[in-house]
Structure 1
Amino acid sequence: MTSDLYAASSAVPVPVPGRRRVVVTGIGMITPLGADTASSWSGFLAGRCGIRELDESFARLPVRIGAPAAVDPADLLPRAQARTMNRGAQFAVLAAREAWADAGLDAAVVDPHRAGVSVGTIIGGAPALVDASHQLRDKGPRHVSPHASPMTVPNGAAARIAIDLDTRAEARTIVSACASGTEAIGAATDRIRAGHLDIAVAGGTEAVIHHTVMAAFASLRALAPGTDGPNDASKPFDEHRDGFVLGEGAAFLILEGEDHARARGARTYCEIAGWGLSADAHHMTAPRPDGDGIAIALHKALADAGATIADVVHISAHATATPAGDAAEALALHTVFGDHAPPVTAPKGAIGHLQGAAGAVEAALCALTLHHQLIPPTVGHHHPADGLGLDIVTGTPRPLSEQPGGIVLSDSFGFGGHNAVLALRSAA
């Protein structure tokens, strides 16, 4: 049983001697609620919803709602640069630039050989390949863009960030379904802990509001039909939840070794205290119904953070608003916390499911929650589902518990049974 395997997570934490602490010093975001971190955060706190009806080009699809980013990234880049990058890479470069500037690295002396990039994505530039295929079919091979090939590769966003910020230590790409952004942050944390990096630009990006992608998810019957209107289309942990809504955007954190950040006088949002991974080994699109894999990842994250169950003051849930997914996550939380789970929020009610960027946006929100001591409310949760028994934050922001050393958990779970959990702690 899960509780037998990881009972140690409720015991006294064991510190890891000499392990380098990793802190968050910068945040950058483009979401359906805003073109930057400040506007996105204020949108979450206000309980706004970024889901809307899509344009007429989506009229033939059985689902016609989505959560487009608040800004077209191509409008914020030089035209010659934008036309050589897929939309996800455009989001990534802009969000990474904001995080870099927010960390004060624009004005800092950075050793490029000690700075790296870690990006989570699911489909990368696959829509660019689909569009090139249409050009080939409709107009012939001469009309296929010479940029189509580099725009298609999944590592394009990581490479573009490295080029843009001149980070030369490494540029890694993590592909683990909806856990990709979370795992990218966790992997970068390990690289800094181990001394391979001083700085990492870590997060995720995705641009999946595309006709072919949406048609595929609709065929799988995974998407919310939106019959209650865009503002109530995504219903995390709600009795009437009926699928997720596709969203797009990116989020990146600047991670630093605490010693490095302190030496340059950087402001810190929080510490990445630990993280955990597991695999359901169950089904390609459905979670393990008992939530066991999710519970194991939660326990691993706490153990890696040297924390106990009693230390957790808030959980940012994956909660895609699918019947099976939300039920499995709620069961996992009960397995780990019993009937006393801490307050839960579910960001996907406001912005839909950003796929490979979802975990990165949610990690950024957790960092801001710790920094501002406020939990954003959950949008779309009106009728608590029977049996889930969670304390869902709704309506207005809730003050975070002032418990010293309190841990905030950020959950991400993806197709194929990929489970990843981050444990964040106040930098104080």
Structure 2
Amino acid sequence: MTKKIVITGIGATSPLGGTARESWEALLAGDSGARSLEHDWVATYDLPVTFAAEAKVRPDTVLERPVAKRLDPSSQLALVAAKEAFADAGSPDVPSERLGVDFSTGIGGVWTLLDAWDTLREKGPRRVMPMTVPMLMPNAPAAAVSMHFEARAYARTVASACASSTEAIANAYEHLQAGLADVVIAGGSESAIHPITIASFASMQALSRRNDDPATASRPYDVTRDGFVMGEGAAALVLETEEHALARGARIYAELAGGGVTADSHHITAPEPEGLGASRAVQLALDAAGATADDVTHINAHATSTPVGDVAEVRAMHRIFGERIREIPVSATKAAHGHLLGGTGALEAMFATLAIVERQAPPTINVTEQDPDAPLRISPEPMPLGDEPQLVISNSFGFGGHNAVIAIRSV
């Protein structure tokens, strides 16, 4: 028997704000989290891209100092978001063995790894921190969250590039359906705004180079788009069976109605150009939700602002929705918060949830001349969603051909 899985808590720390609510309000206001980087290393390495969307509130200013010192920034961000989400859910009193964690990252502790490498070269092996490996490993965010909340049902990590946290949420849905836990903290985090990642993404022509105007650099669907903006942050959802939520009198935001995960098996960085794998992921999510394409009222698109990726996603959506894709309100929120890589899907799932609750689709900023190959209904202002039942899909597609889509329904 299929269980109804509901969202009872949300948390986030992003380039737009230090909490879920602050991030949402800044998104609706049309703010941008992209800014010029003021670190010395920008000039030291003569980087071709000198801006990014860093977390607006540094996580080590929120966490207790002894805790922060033992965690890479990616784990710090994860813990900040998870703590907010759990508190928002009413800190459910659940046995440790029935509390699970599905938390992801795309890259992991890159700052810890490369700082340790610098220490080794400059000062020798005895000066390398003993906690280097536990801090850099990609399961560290999930481990930090599980240890903080004493979640002993399981603590699992998926690393599927930019699809990671959407896949983690889809996995949480499956784990709750399978009865592995009663409550799950699911999400993702990333802190990879580092000279090596900026240099690498820039080398492959993936980053925008609008150094003179960072706030307008991410422009999904615009004819002048020239790449994405690196972002940083984390987001978390508290998920549980409806039966468990009702029994404890929890406030329910929305239903996590299903998820779909596929692989392109096409190219290590480029999406399959016709969107075959992406459209299958959408269809699987709709099937899991017991829904059809006609039921979808809003789409939070992956829309990174790359010339190739945006059009491939539009083609995928056209396969599912046909000409109706011109009518469905679409939000491309990375225009505001940048691309959080492994954390971006969770942040956008949180935004999709609030879009349902507040009945408005977030704006897509920075589009001054919409690409005719992307004939979508987007707006620089929030779009009303109406009073009818809502079904939102949130898309995430990552390097390696990873596709993950979740469906969220109003309650």
TM-score (normalizing by structure 1)? 0.93
* Secondary structure of 2:157 counterpart: strand
Instruction: Please list, as runs of the form range in 1=range in 2, the aligned pairs for 1:22-101 lying within 5 A after superposition.
Output: 22-55=5-38, 56-59=40-43, 60-101=46-87
Give the one of 145, 148, 151 matched to 2:135.
151
Give the one of 187, 190, 202 matched to 2:174.
190
Is 1:103 the counterpart of 2:89 in the alignment? Answer: yes
Is 1:346 the counterpart of 2:346 in the alignment? Answer: no
Query: Do the aligned partners of 1:200 and 1:256 also contact (CA within 8 Å) in 2?
Result: yes
Query: Do the aligned partners of 1:31 and 1:70 also contact (CA within 8 Å) in 2?
Result: yes
Q: Distance in 2 between matches of 1:147 and 1:288?
A: 40
Residue 268 (structure 1) aligns with:
252
Runs of 4+ displaced beyond 2 Å: 401-404
**Aligned residue identity for 2:80:** L
Instruction: Please list, as runs of the form range in 1=range in 2, the aligned pairs for 1:330-341 lying within 5 A after superposition.
Output: 330-341=314-325
C-alpha deviation, 1:87, in angstroms: 0.3
Residue 352 (structure 2) aligns with:
366
C-alpha deviation, 1:111, in angstroms: 0.9
Residue 403 (structure 1) aligns with:
388
Query: Do the aligned partners of 1:89 and 1:205 also contact (CA within 8 Å) in 2?
Result: yes
C-alpha deviation, 1:292, in angstroms: 1.2
C-alpha deviation, 1:228, in angstroms: 5.4
Gaps of 5+ in 1: 1-17
Q: Distance in 2 between matches of 1:381 and 1:25?
A: 34
C-alpha deviation, 1:393, in angstroms: 2.6
Q: Distance in 2 between matches of 1:306 and 1:78?
A: 44
Give the one of 171, 188, 193 matched to 1:209.
193
Give the one of 355, 362, 373 matched to 1:376.
362
Query: Do the aligned partners of 1:315 and 1:344 also contact (CA within 8 Å) in 2?
Result: yes
C-alpha deviation, 1:196, in angstroms: 1.3
C-alpha deviation, 1:109, in angstroms: 2.3
Instruction: Please list, as runs of the form range in 1=range in 2, the aligned pairs for 1:196-235 lying within 5 A after superposition.
Output: 196-227=180-211, 229-235=213-219
Q: Distance in 2 between matches of 1:208 and 1:271?
A: 31
Q: Distance in 2 between matches of 1:393 and 1:318?
A: 16
Q: Distance in 1 between matches of 2:365 and 2:9?
A: 26
Is 1:319 the counterpart of 2:310 in the alignment? Answer: no
| Residue-pair matches, total | 406
Percent identity between matched residues is: 49
C-alpha deviation, 1:81, in angstroms: 1.6
Q: Distance in 2 between matches of 1:270 and 1:314?
A: 14
Residue 377 (structure 2) aligns with:
391
**Aligned residue identity for 2:364:** T
Q: Distance in 1 between matches of 2:239 and 2:121?
A: 45
Gaps of 5+ in 2: none
Query: Do the aligned partners of 1:375 and 1:393 also contact (CA within 8 Å) in 2?
Result: no
Query: Do the aligned partners of 2:365 and 2:379 also contact (CA within 8 Å) in 1?
Result: no
* Secondary structure of 2:323 counterpart: coil
Q: Distance in 2 between matches of 1:401 and 1:239?
A: 30
Query: Do the aligned partners of 1:273 and 1:304 also contact (CA within 8 Å) in 2?
Result: yes
* Secondary structure of 2:238 counterpart: strand
C-alpha deviation, 1:152, in angstroms: 1.0
Q: Distance in 2 between matches of 1:390 and 1:315?
A: 10
Query: Do the aligned partners of 1:243 and 1:320 also contact (CA within 8 Å) in 2?
Result: yes
Q: Distance in 2 between matches of 1:103 and 1:78?
A: 22
Q: Distance in 2 between matches of 1:293 and 1:152?
A: 31
C-alpha deviation, 1:220, in angstroms: 1.4
Q: Distance in 2 between matches of 1:223 and 1:75?
A: 29
Is 1:291 the counterpart of 2:261 in the alignment? Answer: no
Query: Do the aligned partners of 2:162 and 2:397 also contact (CA within 8 Å) in 1?
Result: yes
Summarize deviations over 1:3-41 as a string: whole Å, max 9, x none: xxxxxxxxxxxxxxx211100000000000100011101
Summarize deviations over 1:200-244 as a string: whole Å, max 9, x none: 000000001111111111111111101451111101111111001
C-alpha deviation, 1:411, in angstroms: 0.3
